[in-house]
């Protein structure tokens, strides 16, 4: 859809990536293909292993860290959340 973003994310062991706070609400879907990731959402850590996914909506910053000993591969889709109709 319009405004959707798709990323393949590869992180070396102990590497991290941070997405800043979004101006508008977004729906984030993260799927892990290889490795183990720790995802920090609203200060809460979530561990994701291969073939596991996480989806959430909001404007919070998003921190993803590879907690494994080898490269992790994941896929991220970010979609804008439509504003409520008036």
| pLDDT tens per residue across span 44-53 | 899 999 999 9
Work out the average pLDDT over 49-59: 92
User: Which runs of consecutive H residues, i.e. helices, occur in 28-78?
Assistant: none
pLDDT band at 21 (very low <50, low <70, confident <90, very high): low
64 HSE (CA, 13 A, CB side): 25
Please measure the distance between the N-terminal and C-terminal CA atoms of the chain and give it in whole angstroms: 22
* Interatomic CA distance for residues 49 and 77, integer angstroms: 17
Do 22 and 80 contact (CB within 8 A), yes or no? no
pLDDT over 90 at 35, yes or no = yes
**pTM for the structure as a whole:** 0.84
Do 16 and 63 contact (CB within 8 A), yes or no? yes
Share of the chain above pLDDT 70, in %: 94
């Amino acid at each position: 859809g319009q405004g959707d973003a798709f990323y393949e994310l590869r992180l070396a062991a102990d590497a991290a990536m941070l997405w800043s706070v979004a101006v508008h609400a977004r729906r984030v879907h993260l799927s892990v293909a290889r490795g183990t990731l720790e995802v920090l959402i609203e200060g809460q850590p979530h561990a994701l292993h291969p073939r596991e996914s996480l989806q959430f909506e909001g404007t919070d910053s998003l921190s993803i860290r590879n907690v494994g000993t080898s490269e992790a591969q994941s896929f991220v889709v970010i979609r804008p959340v439509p504003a409520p109709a008036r």
